[in-house]
């Protein structure tokens, strides 16, 4: 990791994350108060990294943006922003509008809070967030956008509804499998008899979101993404939150269901019934693969490279469900120490007792060096315990690593340039099956 730069950053900025988050809301219209190129940059980034998904209802180059210029830098951009909001309300058809600031307008100190509250006072469903790119990456922008949503849009004092929960922690576009992943978890929660508001899926409505403060619990399926927003939610609306790892596959999903039902005091019987049913189906699907799994010797060493959701959760799945040996796990997000500790703890308690090496490294090209520390390269000796057969799960940038160590490779974490992704997800019991299919299909592609 360099102190001075980040190599091939695997995320855009806070503004980019916030923009994708608003676009993903039902009828969400972002209004960028930024330079003209920000939206285009996000569009091109999604084009190359989000598994062929770009934009949405109001995404990419359709996004209203004040496109501030040099004269606004000199004279301030408030007047331009007011004009832009007024015209946006006439032209765009939306359920929620969100003013999001970029680097330029934040450095010059434009006061969006006053502008936004003036419009809100007139009854416009509008929120505002300060998401200048220098404040952090897309994951932090997601958190900031959610904080603004919870603060400025959610009705306060709504009656609590038993067995209703809000779900977040999977970041639109930044996780190319965001829709499938949210759906997989939503399905798990619904199986428990819960009513779920997941903000970003076709099932979610703007009215449901407005009443989100009536939930009994907020479930954040991430150790990092959206956690600060959950704290803010609790402060503002008195709803507690649960932060759990992204549940990929059978073991993690079972643990997830148990944790959620314990917190919500659901009946043990109900939870056990759901787990039994799901596991039965899971192993019915898995059972006939067993011969080929053995005959083709499909156990692998693995390197997992990913964001803070995927790096550890995929590692756990490989170690605790598939029986692979994920020797090296690299998390490419720049994280705070406390966030790192949460990821470390997740891999400290593996059921398989396997202990992977977890490294925090933003620069993907250093993966080979980290691997060689643990698995030194051959010096031509007759008997050599090689890192082979191996597999690389990472982003599409890990194709270079895979090539260097002669291993097959699957892109899962952003950027995913070489896969088409629509409703696919890896969460839940079924998500684990999807991951096994995708990984093994890659291994046997030449068969």
Partner 1 sequence: MSYIDLKSPPKREDRLKACIAHGGTICEMAGAKGKKSCLHDDGDRAFTQGSICLLLPALAMLNSLPDNVVLLHSAIGCGGCTHSQNANVRFGGSVRWGKVKDGIWISTAMDETDVISGGEDKLEQAIIEADRRYRPFSITVVAGCVPGIIGDDIDGVVQRVQPQVTAKLLPVHCEGFKTKIWATAYDAVYHGIGRTLLREGEQQSGENGLAPFKGLERLPRTVNLMNVSSMGRIDELELERLLRSIDLDVNVFPVFTHPENMVKATQAALSISTCPTHDDYFLGYLEERFGVPSIIRHMPIGIENTGLWLRDVAARFGEEELAERIIEQEERELKEALAPFRKLFEGKRVFISAGEFRALATARLLEEIGFTVAGIRSFHHDKFAEVEYQKLAESTKEDYVIDIADVQPFEEANLLKKLKPDLFLGHANGNGTASKLGIPTHVIYNTGLAYIGYKGVYEIARRLHRQLTNPIYNRKLSENVRLPYSDGWYRADPFSYINTRGGVAA
Q: Which of residues 384-403 bind partner 1 (CB under 8 A)?
A: 397, 399-400
Distance in angstroms (rounded) separating the CA atoms of residues 239 and 213: 7
Q: Which of 51, 64, 128, 172 binds partner 1 (CB under 8 A)?
A: 64
1 lies in the binding site for partner 1 (CB under 8 A): no
126 touching partner 1, by CB under 8 A: no
Taking contact as CB under 8 A, which single stretch among the options 35-43, 251-259, 260-268, 376-384 is the one that binds partner 1?
A: 35-43
Nearer to partner 1, 159 or 202 (CB): 202
Given a contact cutoff of 8 angstroms between Cβ atoms, the answer to whether 248 and 315 are in contact is no
Closer to partner 1 by Cβ: residue 44 or 354:
44
CB proximity list for 255: less than 8 A, separation 6 or greater: 247
57 or 354: whose CB is closer to partner 1? 57
The interface region with partner 1, picked from 30-38, 119-127, 295-303, 405-413 by CB under 8 A, is: 30-38
Query: For residues 47 and 187, which CB has a smaller minimum distance to partner 1 in the complex?
Result: 47
Dihedral (Cα; 74, 79, 84, 86), 10-degree rounding = 180
11 binds partner 1 (CB under 8 A): yes
- Min dist CB 397 to partner 1, Å, is 6
| Number of chain positions touching partner 1 (CB under 8 A) | 74
Note the Cα 438 to chain centre separation in Å.
19
Cα–Cα distance between 30 and 33 in angstroms, integer?
Answer: 10
- Give Cα separations from 239 to 104, 144, 236 (angstroms): 35, 18, 8
Residue among 340 and 399 whose Cβ is closer to partner 1: 399
Cβ proximity to partner 1: between 13 and 311 the closer is: 13
- Give the x/- contact pattern for partner 1 in 350-389, rule: CB under 8 A: ----------------------------------------
87 is a site residue for partner 1 (CB under 8 A): yes
User: What residues contact 2, with CB distance under 8 A and at least 6 apart?
Assistant: 362, 363
Among positions 20, 63, 99, 171, the unique one binding partner 1 when judged by CB under 8 A: 63
Q: 239: alpha, beta or left, given left = phi > 0 and alpha = psi -120 to 50? A: beta
The order of strands in the sheet holding 126-129 is 28-33, 96-101, 126-129
Span 402-431, contacts to partner 1 by CB under 8 A:
415, 417
Binding partner 1 by CB under 8 A: which of 26, 133, 245, 425? 133
Strand arrangement of the beta sheet that strand 301-306 belongs to: 357-360, 325-331, 301-306, 390-394, 409-411
Pairing of strands 241-243, 217-220: parallel
Residue closer to partner 1 (CB basis): 19 or 313:
19
Mention every residue, 6+ apart, whose C-beta is less than 8 A from residue 265: none
Q: Which is nearer to partner 1, 400 or 438 (CB)?
A: 400
Greatest distance between any 2 Cα atoms in the chain: 79
Please select the residue that binds partner 1; options are 21, 22, 26, 45, rule is CB under 8 A: 45
């Amino acid at each position: 990791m360099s102190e001075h730069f980040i190599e091939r950053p695997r995320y855009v900025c806070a503004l980019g994350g916030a923009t994708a988050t608003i676009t993903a809301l039902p009828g969400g219209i972002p209004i960028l108060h930024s330079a003209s190129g920000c939206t285009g940059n996000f569009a091109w980034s999604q084009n190359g990294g989000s598994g062929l998904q770009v934009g949405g209802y109001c995404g990419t180059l359709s996004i209203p943006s004040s496109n501030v210029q040099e004269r606004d830098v000199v004279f301030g951009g408030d007047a331009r922003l007011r004009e832009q909001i007024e015209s946006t309300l006439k032209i765009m058809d939306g359920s929620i509008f969100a003013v999001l600031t970029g680097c330029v307008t934040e450095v010059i100190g434009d006061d969006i809070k006053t502008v936004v509250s003036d419009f809100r006072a007139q009854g416009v469903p509008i929120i505002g967030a300060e998401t200048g790119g220098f404040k952090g990456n897309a994951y932090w922008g997601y958190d900031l956008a959610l904080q603004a949503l919870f603060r400025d849009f959610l009705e306060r004092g709504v009656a609590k509804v038993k067995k209703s929960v809000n779900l977040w922690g999977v970041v639109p576009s930044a996780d190319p499998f965001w829709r499938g992943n949210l759906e997989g978890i939503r399905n798990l929660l619904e199986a428990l008899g819960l009513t779920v508001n997941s903000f970003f899926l076709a099932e979610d409505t703007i009215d449901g979101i407005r009443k989100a403060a009536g939930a009994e619990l907020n479930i954040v399926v991430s150790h990092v993404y959206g956690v600060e927003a959950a704290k803010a939610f609790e402060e503002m609306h008195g709803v507690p939150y649960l932060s759990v790892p992204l549940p990929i596959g059978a073991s993690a999903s079972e643990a997830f269901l148990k944790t959620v039902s314990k917190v919500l005091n659901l009946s043990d019987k109900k939870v056990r019934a759901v787990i039994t049913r799901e596991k039965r189906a899971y192993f019915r699907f898995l059972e006939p693969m067993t011969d080929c799994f053995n005959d083709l010797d499909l156990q692998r060493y693995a390197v997992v490279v990913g964001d803070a959701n995927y790096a550890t959760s995929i590692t756990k799945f490989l170690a605790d469900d598939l029986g692979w040996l994920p020797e090296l796990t690299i998390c490419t997000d720049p994280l705070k120490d406390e966030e790192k500790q949460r990821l470390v703890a997740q891999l400290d308690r593996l059921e398989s007792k396997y202990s992977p090496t977890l490294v925090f490294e933003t620069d993907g090209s250093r993966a080979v060096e980290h691997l060689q520390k643990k698995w030194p390269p051959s010096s031509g000796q007759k008997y050599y315990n090689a890192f082979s057969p191996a597999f690389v799960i990472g982003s599409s940038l890990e194709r270079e690593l895979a090539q260097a160590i002669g291993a097959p490779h699957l892109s899962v974490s952003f950027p995913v340039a070489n896969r088409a992704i629509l409703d696919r997800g890896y969460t839940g019991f079924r998500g684990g099956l999807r991951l096994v299919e995708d990984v093994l299909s890659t291994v046997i592609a030449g068969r």
